[in-house]
Chains A and B, each alone.
Chain A
C-alpha cells in the first residue's frame, strides 16, 4: 500500500480578526480613537497587561479538525461557500501560513497556484515577466528556457513579448500569467479559483491543460466555484462548511449535496429569506426548479422527454419591464444556449409588483446525456440592468435509454456532441448491383 501523497490530520487554523464588534461609524470617532488608543495601550503596558495582541482577542477558526488523505495521481476538488475555509486549507498546504493545530504530510514536489500572475511587474516586458513569474512559482531557469516558446504560443502574445506588460490588455495579461502557471510541472499541484478569469475560450484551453496535468499521474487539489469544472476534472470532492469538512466523496454526489443544501435535491433551490436571495432592489429570486413532463421536481431526466426550467421571483417595484433568461451549461463549462422569455402577454409591458413564475421547456430528444447546470438571470429593460444573476442555481442529469427509441437508436457506445437531437433521416437505394439480392434485402 503506497503512502498517500497528501495526508492531513486534525488540521486547524485560528485567525485573530481584531475587534469584530467595535465599529467606527464616523470619521470623528475614528480620529478620536486614533488619538486615545496609544495612551490606552501605554496605560495597559504600565499596568503590566500584554499590548497589541490584547486588542486582537477576537478569534475565529478558519479550519477546524480537518482530516483526509489524497492518493498519488488523484484529482480532488474542494468546494464550499465563501469563508468556508477552502483558501485557508490551500494556504496551509502550500506552506504560506502555519496551522494552529494538527499536521499535514506531503510527498513530492509541490507547486501552488493561488493567484494568476503573482509577482507580475507592469514595467517589465512579457519575456521578463515569464522568467520572473516562473522563478516565483519555483521553476528553474533552464526549465523556463525550455518551455518559453510553448508558453508564449499558449498565451498567444508572441507579437508583444518585448512590450512592457502595462501596455497589455487585461485578457492578454491573464493569458500570459496563466500560461506560465499551466506549464508548472510539480508532482502535486494546488490550485485556487483561477479559472474564473479570462474569456470562455481561454478558460476551456486551461481546463484542458489541467486535465493533461491529471492524466500525467499528478496529484491535484483544486478549489473552485465552477461546479461543472469540478465534476468534470475531479473524481473526488471535499465539501467545507464553516471550516469543517462536511463531505468527502465522488464529485457528482458532493456537488449535489452542496447544491441541494437544505432541499435534498439539486433540482430545487429555494430562498425562503428574501433578503439573502439573489437579486437587487427591484427583483429577488425565490426559487428555481427542474420538472419533468409529469410535473415532478427531479434531477434525473429522461432524454426523450421535455424538461421544464422554472424560475420564481418577486418583483419589488411596480411599473418595470423585465426579461427573464436561462443559460444552460454542461459539465465542461460550455454554455449550450441562452433562452429568453418569449411569452407575448408580457412582451414590452411594465409589470405590477408581485410574485411571478416563468417556465421554459427544453424539448425531448434535444440535449445529450450528462450533467447540466442552470444559470438564472433577470434583466430590467429601460434602463437595461442585470438584476438577478444566479449561476449554477440548480443541476440535473439527462439519462439516455437503451430502449432504441432515443437518438442513440441501437448504438450502445459513446456518442460525441453537446446536443443529441433526433433528426429526420431518409436513406434510398439508388442502384442495386444484384437484382436477386435486392428482393431478399429490400426495405419495405
Chain B
C-alpha cells in the first residue's frame, strides 16, 4: 500500500462521469490490479479439480484420449498423411495448444456471467476476469506438455533449434485465446445465446484447424491464407518448433499472428466499450 499523503491536493483525484463511445484501455490500471489477476487465476486453478477422483489427471485425459481417438480413426483407418511423423505425436502436439485454446475460450466466455456476483459488488478492471479464466489453463497446459515431452522421448523425436520460437508461439496461443474469449465474454453478458454457441463453435473450429490432418495438404497460396484462422499458425508452429516438420510455416504464422493481434485489440476495445453496462445487465 502506498503511504497516504497527508498533503492535500497530492491525493489522486478520481472523476466519475458518464462515458460514451470508445473508452481508453488504461493498461496502467490493469497493472495495478495484477495481484487480483494472480489471485483469480490461482483460485480457478485451486478449485478446478477439487472433489474429483482423478484430479489433475483430467488435464491430460482430455487431449490424450482425443489423440487416441484421432489416431484410430484418422491415422489408422483413414490413413491421413501426417508430414512423415508418427500420427499419434503429430496430432497430440497440436492438441496440447488446442486444448488450452478450447478451454480458455469456453471458460473466459462464461467468466463474466459466473463472476456476476463480483461484478455487481466491487470495482476492478473487468478485463481481469476473462484474463484469469484463460491463464488458469496454464497449469493444464504444462501437464499436457510434459506428456508431450515423454511421447517425444518414446518416439525418439528431438526438438530442433526451432524450439527457440516456442515462447513466441505460446504468446500467440494466449493472445488468440484471450482475443476470442474477450469478444465472447462481453457478448455473453447481453446475449446468453453465446453460452450455447461456444461449445458448438469450439467443436467446429477444431475441425477447421489442422489438428487431425496437416495443412500441407493445401497448395500455396491457400496454405498461407489458411493462417487467417489464427489457430492454424499456432498448431503448425508447435509442430514445426518441436517435431521439426519439413516445411517452414513462416508466412502462415505471420498471417495468424496479425489476425490474432487484431482479434485481441478489437476484443479489448469492444470489451471496454461494453464494460460500463456489465454491472447493470449481467
Contact = CB atoms under 8 A, between A and B. Distances in A.
B30 interface: no
Interface string A108-122: 111010110011010
Interface stretch (B35-43, B69-77, B213-221, B234-242): B35-43
A424 B13 CA distance: 61
A106 B16 contact: yes
B46 A128 contact: yes
Interface stretch (B116-124, B159-167, B180-188): B116-124
17 contacts: A93-B16, A96-B120, A96-B123, A96-B279, A101-B18, A103-B17, A105-B15, A107-B13, A108-B11, A118-B122, A119-B117, A132-B39, A136-B39, A136-B124, A138-B36, A138-B124, A141-B35
A121 to B, nearest CB: 6
B247 interface: no
Given A135-B35, A141-B35, A94 B122 contact: yes
Contacts of A392: none
B156 interface: no
Nearest to B44: A121
Contacts of A332: none
A354 B43 CA distance: 60
Given A96-B279, A114-B122, A118-B117, A105 B47 contact: no
Tell me the interface secondary structure of chain B in the complex. Answer: mixed
Interface string B1-43: 1101000110111111111000000000000000110111011
Interface string A8-36: 00000001100000000000000000000
Contacts of B12: 107-109
Interface of A: 2-3, 15-16, 52, 72, 91-110, 112, 114-115, 118-119, 121, 123-124, 128, 131-132, 135-143, 185, 187
A88 to B, nearest CB: 10
Contacts of A115: 121
Contact of B121 (A106, A114, A123, A131): A114
Given A99-B17, A107-B12, A187 B121 contact: no
Contact of A97 (B46, B118, B190, B280): B280
User: Top 5 closest A-B pairs, CB basis?
Assistant: A103-B17, A135-B39, A95-B123, A104-B16, A106-B14
Given A94-B122, A96-B122, A119-B118, A187 B39 contact: no
Nearest to A116: B121
B36 A136 contact: yes
Contact of B13 (A99, A105, A136, A185): A105
Contacts of B38: 135
Contacts of A136: 36, 39, 118, 122, 124
Contacts of A139: 1
Given A112-B123, A114-B122, A118-B122, A131 B15 contact: no
Given A107-B14, A140-B1, 6 more contacts: A2-B8, A92-B16, A93-B16, A109-B2, A136-B122, A143-B1
B29 to A, nearest CB: 11
Given A115-B121, A187-B4, A105 B36 contact: no
B16 A105 contact: yes
Interface of B: 1-2, 4, 8-9, 11-19, 35-36, 38-40, 42-43, 46-47, 50-51, 117-124, 190, 276, 279-280
Interface of A is mostly: loop
B135 to A, nearest CB: 15
Nearest to A135: B39
B122 A112 contact: yes
A97 B1 contact: no
A98 B8 contact: no
A103 B18 CA distance: 7
Contacts of A187: 4, 11
Contact of B46 (A107, A124, A137): A124
Nearest to A97: B279
A100 B276 CA distance: 11
Contacts of A121: 43, 47
A15 B123 CA distance: 19
Contacts of A128: 43, 46
A178 to B, nearest CB: 14
A102 B17 CA distance: 6
A186 B19 CA distance: 26
A123 B277 CA distance: 30
Contacts of B123: 94-96, 112
A137 B121 CA distance: 10
Nearest to B48: A123
